[in-house]
Amino acid sequence: MVFPLALISALAVQWGLQVAAPLEEQRLKEELNLVARAVRLPIGESLASGNLEEIQNALDSIFTIGRVYGATVFDTDGTPIASIGTSDNTLNNSRVAQDAFDSGETQERYREIDGKSVFSQFLPVYTAGGHISGLVQITRRESDFDQATDRMQWRAWSGWALATASMAVIVLLGHYRGVGRHVRDLVRSMRRVESGDRSVRASAGGPRELQLLSTTFNRMLDGLQQAEHRLAEHRAEEQALNQRLQRQERLAAIGRMASGVAHELGAPLSVIAGRARRLRERHPLSPEQLRQLEKIERQVDRLNRTVHQLLDYCRPEGQARTRVPPARLARRALDEVSPEWPESRPGPTLILDDDLPDIPVDADRVTLALVNLLRNAAQADPDSVELEVALDGPDAVSYRVRDRGPGLSQSQEQLIQPFNSTKPAGQGIGLGLAIVHQVAQEHDGTLHLANRSDGGCEVVLSFSTTDPDTEEGQHHA
């Protein structure tokens, strides 16, 4: 921006100097002419009266002005009468002087006097009657004209240089304050983004175009940051899904292996249990032998229970759903766990709401889930187990199993994982709550485990009272 302006202004200055140089020369000539005209009248009067002293005084007054290099008064014959400074000694051979005498008008020429280039003006001097009585020559050095032109050029170019420098400073400062600093901030922000800092934002300052550019740049960064955030979430979800898939695949493999092991163990355990009963029934045994036989039977029962848990977990999803009274399932589960309850301890307390609606479930699978919950509660504290069956909202029935044991030491997500057991070694393989969770999923129910505020824990297993077909039809309607 500065360079074109400087070039245009330089061309303007050059053109102005070309126009002004002749004008300056003409001004100097007119100045010299004014000086000559000022003294022509007194010189004419003095020349008419023959007063040479007055003529010399008039010339001296011209010379004191400082703009005149020389002055001379000639008579009509071209003979010098009075002079001062550099002047011609005679005008006999001067064509310009002859022109002045002949025309009666001022004549001027550039000429050489004593080897020096000068500018001369010849003005005729008139008598009172209007006749030419002499000639006044006033000279000025040609170098005065050159110096005046040089001074004019120096002033013009100095002014141009000062104006250009001022313009450059104004333009640069204005550009920096109006545009440059905002562009620099934007470039700095871009470099920080290039280095990996996505949190930087450009300041929306400067002209409207830069504000629009900064705003667009910030929106682009917002979009990139949101896209990176979504990508990170998708990667985390994908990683979690992969981990879940791997865990499910491992569990499926374990389940298949466990199912095979359970089937393989079932037959030998049945043989061991049968032979132990025959020994007890057919052969007289000593008290020590009976104790050892009871230990064998207890271990076989524990192994059978483990085998049944494995088979229950690996069992396909229940399909045969019928509408069953919730109380019947609760009593059935209590009957199944009653043989396992210590004889010296009170059994679980059953609490039933009145007029409970039937629930569409696989009765065997729900009973199995309740049995597992009661067993876990009994192992925590067999003296405080409660089983409450109640309405849970307008269209659900919940089974609540409570105890006052030590409570839960892990989260629900951890506790429902297969083969995750918090019990001592030999007291479980960690499938009880996994089976309960599986049963809840099979019936589109819910399972919730939590510690009680007054000690112990509570497990809530809820089932819908609406048939699956009816519920699906309502959703479609």
Task: Tell how strand 349-352 and strand 386-391 pair up.
Answer: parallel
Look up residue 230 and give its two tokens.
Answer: 């979504």
Residue from 413, 349, 424 nearest 387 by CA: 349
Distance CA 130, CA 14 (A): 47
Crossing angle of helices 287-314/432-442, nearest 10°?
Answer: 30
DSSP-derived 3-state class of residue 224? helix
For CA atoms 82, 88, 92, 95, the dihedral sign is: negative
CATH superfamily of this structure's domain 321-476: Histidine kinase-like ATPase, C-terminal domain (3.30.565.10)
Give per-residue pLDDT as tens, 381-417.
878 888 999 998 888 999 999 988 888 877 778 777 7
Distance CA 78, CA 95 (A): 12
What kind and span of H or E run contains 185? helix 181-194
Task: Write the CATH number of the domain with boundaries 2-155.
Answer: 3.30.450.20
Distance CA 407, CA 415 (A): 12
* Model pLDDT, residue 474: 46
pLDDT tens for each residue of the chain, 477 residues long: 667 777 888 888 788 878 877 887 777 777 777 777 777 777 777 777 778 788 778 777 776 665 667 788 887 777 788 877 766 666 766 777 777 777 878 888 777 777 677 787 788 888 777 778 788 877 877 667 667 777 788 888 888 888 888 877 777 776 666 666 667 777 777 777 777 777 777 777 666 777 777 788 778 878 888 888 888 888 888 888 887 777 666 656 666 666 566 555 666 766 676 777 777 777 777 777 777 777 777 666 766 666 665 555 555 555 578 899 999 999 998 888 887 777 777 778 899 888 899 999 988 888 888 988 888 888 888 788 889 999 988 889 999 999 888 888 777 787 777 665 665 554 555 677 888 888 888 888 999 988 888 888 999 999 999 887 655 444 433
Q: Where along the chain do its domains lie?
A: 2-155, 201-314, 321-476
Look up residue 403 and give its two tokens.
Answer: 């105890």
In angstroms, the first-to-last Cα distance of the chain is 74
Look up residue 367 and give its two tokens.
Answer: 């009973």
Q: Which residues of 214-229 are buried (b: 16+ CB within 10 A; e: fewer)?
A: beebbeebeeeeeeee
Give per-residue pLDDT as tens, 62-114.
766 656 677 888 877 777 888 777 666 667 667 777 777 778 788 887 777 77
Which residue type sits at 54?
A: E
* Model pLDDT, residue 326: 92
Distance CA 469, CA 435 (A): 25
Residue from 127, 132, 107, 120 nearest 71 by CA: 120
